[in-house]
Amino acid sequence: MDILRGIKGAPDWLPPEAGAFDAVERAFLDTAALGGYERVRTPVFEPTEVFARGVGASTDVVQKEMYTFEDKGGRSITLRPEGTAGVLRAALEAGVPRSGTLPVKWSYAGEFFRYERPQAGRQRQFTQVGVEALGATDPVLDAEVVLLGWEALKRAGVGEMTLRINTLGDRVDRPAYHERLNAYLDDFEGDLPPDVAERRHLNPMRAFDAKAPGMAEIMAGAPLLADHVNDEAKAFHEEVCGLLEAEGLVLTHDDRLVRGLDYYTRTTFEYQAAGLGAQNAVGGGGRYDGLAEDLGWPEPFPGVGWALGVDRTLLALGEAAAPPPRAEVFVVAADPTLAPQAFGLVARLRRAGVAADQAFAGRRMKAQLKLADRSGARLALVLGADELARGVVTVKDLASGSQREVADAEVLAAVTG
Ligand code: AMP
């Protein structure tokens, strides 16, 4: 019988890469926490409506990529393909808009699912960390969010990056613009790929994202939303950009950046990492002032946020991805009769907060020292019968090979000092 295999596009993360993966996730979450964003946890599945209405019927995500199934109660359920719709659904359900202490600033981390064609940097299960700032329309908040994402990627170790930014204006600007864009696309009706031809009456802006051959040429002459943005939204965007530039960020203004989700209004942005090829966006986000109403809230409730991809960031880090060492200190017993003492010393180190490990199954000293090296530990503590009788332990520096004896009572100080 063949061994069972996992699902295509749903990667296994094993040591040491899984350690590096955690380090990236932690760097993102720590940065969010520095900005006052509090953790939330929402379900990995939601009623399908949350995404169908939230993410938007014209998007690839909703049209082609959702893992949707009927549960035993006959309800249509979808594995979350993105974070914002579910988090906002939770906020509305909890009555956050009426809480009086707005904005609330939340962060999340977890697994997301899209039925995409798996390739480097594009999977069917992937991990995102995200932030959402809900309940305020203020350019300072947009700038905070954009800057925080940048800092989060830097903290995770990403080197060269580009920040692409655009404004999509408000929803009131859309109908007139959609009409103009559709009128423009009419002239190319016969040349449009079927999905653009079908979806352009739901949202012609999708055509900017279409990758089919010839589309880039067609769209090169398309009317731009930037020319249809109302003055207030324009001034808002200029303020956001000004704040970011004052912090030293170099902005790449991209008036074709519409992003793959329908809910964005005003600010949209994407972080791209150098050297990633086609899938070079490590994260992105924007403002979504109309989303709450799409989810059934009776009045506008604004929000702005981003999601950063952990898997793809790790890809961008390449060799620079650094899993933490498995142990700081490795305890080596010179002969098998000292196993209880080694066990006791490892326990003592761990209680003191030192990551410690040892060998098992009665290995010889040389093999134990090899394992010590492999563990990434800085120090080996070698226990010998003679030394123990004298109340000392040998502390060996695994990088330099130098060693010295330390009194048993001083061991903790010696490894932490
Ligand atoms: P999005 O939710 O599409 O705005 O994506 C935000 C970030 O999540 C992207 O920049 C990627 O880093 C990551 N991401 C999105 N889709 C995938 C996928 N299928 N596989 C791996 N990472 C993804």
pLDDT recorded at residue 60:
85
**Which position has the token pair 């000392």?**
392
Q: How far is the CA of 283 from the centre of ligand 1 (A)?
A: 7
**Domain 17-170+229-320 class, CATH top level:** alpha beta
% of the chain surpassing 70 pLDDT: 100
Best of 8, 112, 145 for a ligand 1 pocket test (most atoms within 8 Å of beta carbon) = 112
Instruction: Assign domain 329-416 to its CATH superfamily.
Output: Anticodon-binding domain (3.40.50.800)
Q: How far is the CA of 115 from the centre of ligand 1 (A)?
A: 12
Ligand 1 nearest atom to the CA of residue 127, by list position = 22
Structural element, H or E, at residue 105: strand 104-113
- Encode pLDDT of 242-255 as tens digits: 999 999 999 999 98
Section 106-126 average pLDDT: 96
CA proximity to 263, closest of 409, 4, 61: 61
Predicted model pTM: 0.93
What SS3 state is found at 221? coil
Residue ranges in 162-320 assigned as alpha helix (H): 174-186, 194-199, 215-220, 231-246, 291-294, 310-317
Dist. CA 62–CA 24, nearest whole Å:
28
Q: For ligand 1, atom 3, which residue shows the shortest CA distance?
A: 260
- Encode pLDDT of 227-247 as tens digits: 889 999 999 999 999 999 999
Q: How far is the CA of 81 from the centre of ligand 1 (A)?
A: 9
Q: For ligand 1, atom 2, which residue shows the shortest CA distance?
A: 82
Dist. CA 78–CA 91, nearest whole Å:
19
% of the chain surpassing 90 pLDDT: 78
pLDDT grade for 279, boundaries at 50, 70 and 90: confident
Q: How far is the CA of 400 from the centre of ligand 1 (A)?
A: 43
pLDDT recorded at residue 374:
93
Q: How far is the CA of 310 from the centre of ligand 1 (A)?
A: 9
Q: For ligand 1, atom 4, which residue shows the shortest CA distance?
A: 284
Cα dihedral 155, 158, 162, 168 sign:
negative
Q: For ligand 1, atom 5, which residue shows the shortest CA distance?
A: 283
For the CA atoms of the chain, what is the radius of gyration?
A: 27
- Encode pLDDT of 193-229 as tens digits: 888 888 888 889 888 888 888 898 999 899 988 888 9
- Encode pLDDT of 75-105 as tens digits: 999 999 999 999 999 999 999 999 989 999 9
Whether the pLDDT of residue 365 is over 90: the answer is yes
What contacts 24+ positions apart, CB below 8 Å, involve 198-203?
Answer: 199/58, 199/63, 202/57, 202/58, 203/56, 203/58, 203/59, 203/178, 203/262
- Encode pLDDT of 29-73 as tens digits: 999 999 999 999 999 999 999 999 988 888 889 889 999 999 999
One-letter amino acid at 115 equals Y
Backbone φ and ψ for 231, nearest 5 degrees, come out as -60, -35
pLDDT grade for 175, boundaries at 50, 70 and 90: confident
Dist. CA 306–CA 288, nearest whole Å:
11
Section 157-170 average pLDDT: 95
Q: For ligand 1, atom 14, which residue shows the shortest CA distance?
A: 309
Average pLDDT score, the chain? 94
Hey, what are 158's tokens?
């990403």
Q: How far is CA 176 from CA 9, 43, 257, 314, 355, in A?
A: 40, 38, 19, 42, 62
pLDDT recorded at residue 278:
79
**Which position has the token pair 């290995």?**
363
One-letter amino acid at 54 equals G
Ligand 1 nearest atom to the CA of residue 308, by list position = 7
What contacts 24+ positions apart, CB below 8 Å, involve 67-74?
Answer: 67/113, 67/114, 67/115
Q: How far is the CA of 343 from the centre of ligand 1 (A)?
A: 45
In the chain, DSSP finds a helix count (H) and a strand count (E) of 15, 16
Structural element, H or E, at residue 405: strand 403-407
pLDDT grade for 413, boundaries at 50, 70 and 90: very high
Dist. CA 166–CA 269, nearest whole Å:
6
pLDDT recorded at residue 195:
84
Q: How far is the CA of 324 from the centre of ligand 1 (A)?
A: 25
Q: For ligand 1, atom 15, which residue shows the shortest CA distance?
A: 309
Dist. CA 223–CA 118, nearest whole Å:
33
Q: Where in the chain is the domain with CATH 3.40.50.800?
A: 329-416
Name residues contacting ligand 1 (CB within 6 A).
Answer: 82, 114, 116, 121-123, 126, 128, 260, 281-284, 307, 309, 311-312
Best of 145, 269, 312 for a ligand 1 pocket test (most atoms within 8 Å of beta carbon) = 312
Dist. CA 387–CA 394, nearest whole Å:
8
Q: Where in the chain is the domain with CATH 3.30.930.10?
A: 17-170+229-320
Structural element, H or E, at residue 365: helix 365-374
Q: How far is the CA of 309 from the centre of ligand 1 (A)?
A: 5
